[in-house]
Chains A and B, each alone.
Chain A
Amino acid sequence: MRWGVITFPGSNDDEQTSFVLSNLLGETVVRLWHKDESVDGLDCIVLPGGFSYGDYLRCGAVARFSPIMRAVERFAERGGIVLGICNGFQILCEAGLLPGALIRNRELNFLCRRAHVRVEEADTIFTNRCRRGDVLDLPVKHGEGCYVADEATLRSLEAGRQIVLRYTDAEGRVTPEANPNGSLSAIAGIRNARGNVFGLMPHPEHACEWLVGGEDGRKFFLSIIASVSGGVEMPSVPSSSKVLSGP
């Protein structure tokens, strides 16, 4: 399938995301520039992590007005698959493609550590290679990852089964210590009501090789590939053993 990975000024994980998709998973990747106005011919658009526009004013607040975002909005309206990771999640919230907002972490500091997330919904475009209740080990690295929304929004997220990932401990229990940033209801990732737009704070692209960060992150990309190819049995996963190629 054809992936588009956007580079905003200040994007940092765009290279890594492209590396995972093209070098590790053998996918076709089109690099998109924030000034581009078209996303035609693509199956999934990724908004990567980083500090778009320095995260000045608010994280994602400026990026959402980039020319490319108008195209992304139209793409999402047509049912196109959109994945926002970390800063990408923040941009999607700012753009109104996902509900709620991400504010400063509970402890105020930037936080880089491993976090466990529990898969709350497995019949989604983004998590169909997981089972409900699976606990994944992924890195988080953000200063403003505390998910907030008003009560009505939270209720509709729950009713619509839009909460896809929650922070838990290694055994899958929601505890205050396991919630790295104080997110409402331990939310780590949500999808929109239609189910084609997904944002998460943890970084699956930094967990796709044993040597660097584990392999749990692959499941998200493989799920999207499975969805696009219509549930056809997936080709075997390329081994990540000793082939170390970089961006």
Chain B
Amino acid sequence: MKVTVETALQHGLTAEEYERIEEALGRTPTLEELGVFSVMWSEHCSYKSSRAYLRGLPTTGPRVLQGPGENAGAIDVGDGLAVVFKIESHNHPSFVEPFQGAATGVGGILRDIFTMGARPIANLNSLRFGSIDHPRTPFLLRGVVAGIGHYGNCIGVPTVGGEVSFDPGYDHNILVNAFTLGVVRADRIFRARATGVGNPVMYVGSRTGRDGIHGASLLASAEFDAESESKRPTVQVGDPFTEKLLLEACLELMSPEHSHHVVAIQDMGAAGLTSSSTEMAGRGGTGIDLDLSSVPLREPNVTPYEILLSESQERMLLVVHQGSEDAVTAIFAKWDLEAAVIGRVTDTKRLRCTFDGRVVVDIPIEPLTDDAPVYERPASEPQGSDDGGKLNLKELPEPTDYNQTLVRLMESPNLSSREWVYRQYDSYVGGGTIVRPGSDAAIVRLPGTEKAVAMTVDCNSRLCLVDPYVGTVSAVAEAARNLAASGAEPIGVTNCLNFGSPEKPEVMWQFQQAIAGLRDACLAFGTPVISGNVSFYNETEGRSIPPTPVIGMVGLLEDASQHVTQWFKSEGDAVVLLGRNREELGSSEYLAVVHHQVRGGVPWIDLEVERRLIRAVVASAREGLLRSAHDVSEGGLAVALVECCITSETTAPLGARIELEGGFRPDALLFGESHARMIVSVRRRHLTRLREIARREDVPISVIGEVRGQRLEVGDLIGIDVATLRDAWRGGLGKALAGSTSA
């Protein structure tokens, strides 16, 4: 087949990019070469629209052992251990086929972690669906949740936390972002650098089929339209059982006993064999020769083009030392997995592939990796982005019955219990889970130590739509507060930046603003960004999703027994508010649920104030003062108080008697979403010490009540049985789903 510029356009490349290819090769590319360029230059692999901006992020720090650029980042947690973590999107595949899309998303991020030599000990995920009333939402939600559970449960990595939200902005483009954290000895982190000329390149794991050909370039990069429904056959199918074997075999190979065989290892994820071999050679400053005829195949007559681009799951590419082939093969055979030598490391700095003795690919590595196109796309602030912000509180009627309003909020789709979701996830397997889903952050202990890590994924896309800079800062701050409320000190960040088409100047502007916010907030908290993922083209029929920079943040507890959970512990404890209430209702859940409005700008945020609050809470937790701690976020103070009363899975709900000093509108006081606030409960005898710490960190502190009885009473505004609130909260999501009949 003769390759022309038309062929290139069909591959999603531009005419200019095709010219660059001809220039780099000095000739017309073969079809296989064009395929290689198209996936390596796709947005997904090349980060061509985002690369220039990502350079501004803080990625270093005393704890950072590996920043962005490898399969995942790594952070030193002391005791000779490191944690390896990353978050990645699988949005488009999950919209096309929710079960398999979400399942393979989990499988992909797990491989990114264990290729570094780390054993995965926790999965989290951040999910965004369209309006719960949209006819497709229940189907997508059920499929995605079942897919995540299927993969995580079967492979035996606990799913310990995450977030699920509903917004009409995702009606036609859901978001499925999967996070995994693993543990590795700090001096035994494996990297993906192909070195040692003559070293064999080995293929291990599942055989190659025609799965997901062009998944990376088409599914993850092109916009959705009605036609993409028919692209179903390219969706990959996950096999968590095989991945479990691959995980155990790889970790056995990388154990002290066998690791001397290994030079480099990389997952064959998006763009499969092509990207794994090219990237390994790129990082190693070497070249790779591959004999595509040696690749183990699942079906007959797979072409070299398909072998290069297949996204069959549960495969790894290894570079091993010469002479180690048999030892490596034996380890994989023990786990009933195939291994095959399919190539060699060379000094040519080229990717050369042969098939049946014929050269089908011969490309210099550099244009595929470091010299891939980088675009500084035009960005401009959308017109009228300030207009939607005005909110005249005087025109907004106050609720007549605050009890009723509170119940309505507790059962609303975004505030109700996620139990229906997380009960489908095994959160125990592995044996290290200290705090399961349902508190501010998940906590998992570090094996063999007294330490634990806390993890959270956060984003409020409503704020990001109104102001992407402040929205992103707020997401980082909320993540940090969630960790602090668990007693953990924030130590590092990963991020999944979900946006619309970068070819639209207003989307590029949102992206720039989000990156700026991410940078400023991470600098303020001293939390380097060690890994991440950009997902562009989240659009349907020309409409972009709300900008959604999901923040995954990890914190460290030096002593696991000092962890804190969000629910009240016993009657008589004092309830304390740290932080200051402001008369702010902008972009709140209350406005959306009760008044059906998204306006009023975004709440005020000051990173210095946030930083002080976090220091105060972490210090108090370390002194063992906090019986509970809970961040105030969506739904405001009233919803946070309810959550303190009713969210314990193992103990009965507790009431509280609360008095709030407002001086302003009660609905703003109860439901406004001002930042930098935390509700903690302490024994009375610890109040003095807590006040000292708050004063030291200059954090406003007020005792607002006590844990008492079976009712939540807030001044004379609210007085309601906690059992009523709990029933509303628990039943909310199920009730909304039961309304739909599509299975």
Contacts and interface: CB of A to CB of B under 8 A. Distances in A.
Interface stretch (A70-78, A105-113, A219-227): A105-113
B448 A246 contact: yes
B560 interface: yes
Nearest to B156: A12
Contacts of A51: 153-154, 156, 240-241, 244
Interface stretch (A156-164, A171-179, A205-213): A205-213
Interface string B418-455: 00001111111111111000000000011111110000
B649 interface: yes
Contacts of A55: 154, 241
Nearest to A209: B431
A110 B241 contact: no
B239 interface: yes
Given A10-B241, A109-B424, A211-B560, A205 B448 contact: no
A212 B430 CA distance: 11
Interface in A11-40: 12-13, 15-16, 19-20
A9 B154 contact: no
Given A111-B423, A246-B446, A16 B430 contact: yes
Contacts of B741: none
B336 A110 contact: no
B561 interface: yes
Contacts of B240: 51, 54
Contacts of A238: none
Interface in B80-111: none
A110 B153 contact: yes
Nearest to A180: B423
B335 interface: yes
A137 B430 CA distance: 19
Contacts of A111: 423-424
A212 B121 CA distance: 14
A54 B239 contact: yes
Given A51-B153, A246-B432, A112 B446 contact: no
A114 interface: yes
Contacts, number: 109
A205 B431 contact: yes
Given A10-B154, A246-B447, A110 B149 contact: yes
Interface in A47-76: 49-51, 53-56
Q: Describe B's contact surface by its main secondary structure.
A: loop
Nearest to A213: B428
A191 interface: no
Contact of B428 (A143, A203, A246): A203
Contact of A242 (B154, B433, B450): B450
Contacts of B424: 109-112
Given A9-B244, A109-B424, A244-B560, A19 B448 contact: no
A215 B656 CA distance: 30
A132 interface: no
B10 interface: no
A139 B445 contact: no
A141 B436 CA distance: 13
A206 B428 contact: yes
B245 A212 contact: no
Contact of A139 (B146, B239, B428, B449): B428
B650 A212 contact: no
Interface string B505-546: 000000000000000000000000000000000000000000
B442 to A, nearest CB: 12
B335 to A, nearest CB: 7
A56 B241 CA distance: 9
10 contacts: A9-B245, A13-B156, A13-B429, A15-B431, A16-B429, A54-B240, A112-B427, A113-B423, A206-B428, A211-B561
Which 3 A-B pairs have CB atoms at the shortest separation, nearest pair first? A246-B447, A54-B241, A12-B156
Interface of B: 146, 149-150, 153-156, 239-242, 244-245, 335-336, 422-434, 445-451, 559-561, 649-650
Interface of A: 9-10, 12-13, 15-16, 19-20, 49-51, 53-56, 109-114, 137, 139, 141, 143, 203, 205-206, 211-213, 242, 244-247
Given A9-B245, A13-B431, A211-B434, 17 more contacts: A10-B245, A19-B431, A51-B153, A110-B146, A110-B423, A111-B424, A112-B422, A112-B423, A112-B425, A112-B428, A114-B649, A141-B427, A206-B431, A212-B434, A212-B445, A246-B449, A247-B447
